[in-house]
Amino acid sequence: MLNIPYELWVGWRYTRAGRGRRRDRFISFIAGSSMAGIALGVAALIIVLSVMNGFQTEVRDRMLSVLPHIELFSNGGERGAALADWRGLTELAKKNPEVLAGAPYVSAQAMIARDQTLRGVQVRGVDPATERNVSDLVGSMKQGSLDALQPGSFGVVLGRTLASALDVRLGDPVLMLAPQGSVTPAGFTPRMRQFTVVGVFEAGHYEYDSSLAFVNVDDAARLFRETGTGGVRLRIKDMQEAPQVASELASLLPAGIVASDWSRNNRTWFAAVQTEKRMMFLILTLIVAVAAFNLLSSLVMAVNDKQSDIAIMRTLGASPGEVARVFVVQGALIGVIGTILGVAGGMLVAFNIDVIVPFIERLLGMQFLPKDIYLITELPSDPRMADIVSIGVTSLVLSFLATLYPSWRASRLQPAEVLRHD
């Protein structure tokens, strides 16, 4: 027979109590509600953090399908200097083993007009031959081809949402207006050029699908020679290492050339997501904390109800520490079982949220993520072991802390005083 400490056996018996007196059933109900509260809090934490992780990962990946990992451009020097020597800058950057490829680009703000519709856009001049090496834009094409952006053809590739807003299709002309213009005797004349729609892309990111246009890098340099920013787009092996690689490239680049990574360009958005994630963790941890307080109250009631049992154990030779361990075991079992149930339930939902959410949306006839607000239309999930472990440990620690006062109180009971009033 296994030599199991009697504190474990008694604590387990107290946890299972519930078929005896009405008071025992009530105490068991309070303990069960504490267990359910812990499970609910743990599951909610896992689900919410997994969704926030998935949201961040999904938006980041969709951003980088059309944006580079690192950009090199001139800062304060001659405009277009980085673009003119983009091959030399690429070879210089490749001295860092993390850099895989480079491609030239021109970036500028403009207006696109079609009939009576006018939209502000971010224009990106790219080289079709090298662009596929630094971004996934080719894979995002829904109509037409990126290769149609030939020098001098003045073709343009629009995001699907932008093309829909302008009501244009392949082959339709649009008018692009640059910010700068010319002063003539007749007044100020804006610089404009007619472009032909040669492709439509869809990155799955509403901001880019509705406000991004790609043209050939030579056409962009010609149209935006005063206001455009030219440079090199780089792709690296691990996008997560972009800040470190950009910092390392700064020491290799000539004076006046700046390296900017994707995390710096979108720092505000990612900082906001991280802040929201921390705040949601703190807020939802309160659910577990409330369940821990319920556990504390149920153990206090159990101690009051079991005073006679405690007095008998002390009379038979049990030490105060052994009595305390009985109630620590009782509370710990409730916390452990609640945490296990919460982790299992949370992971079950988190790993199947792509099935559960569409079912609820069809059932209720509503969409949880309007694309013009949340950038994406599907609820993603990315359960991470680090988050699950930290949630489980937090739950177990709060449950253990809830057992300290009741167990200390049980150990302080005097057998003579209890039996005198029994």
Stretch 367-383: mean pLDDT: 69
Domain boundaries, the chain: 6-61+270-420, 77-255
Using one digit for the tens of pLDDT, what is the confidence trace for 212-248?
899 998 888 888 876 667 788 888 888 878 888 888 8
Q: In sequence order, what E strands does 115-237 have?
A: 117-126, 141-144, 155-159, 173-184, 187-201, 212-216, 229-236
**Which region holds residue 123: left if phi is over 0, alpha if psi is between -120 and 50, else beta?**
beta
Using one digit for the tens of pLDDT, what is the confidence trace for 248-292?
888 887 777 888 888 777 777 777 777 888 888 888 888 888 888
Amino acid occupying residue 198: V
Q: How far apart are CA 146 and CA 168, in angstroms?
A: 17
Could you tell me the pTM of the whole model?
Answer: 0.69
Q: Identify which has the larger pLDDT, 50 or 34.
A: 50
Using one digit for the tens of pLDDT, what is the confidence trace for 182-202?
655 655 566 788 999 999 998
Using one digit for the tens of pLDDT, what is the confidence trace for 129-159?
888 888 888 878 888 888 888 888 889 999 9
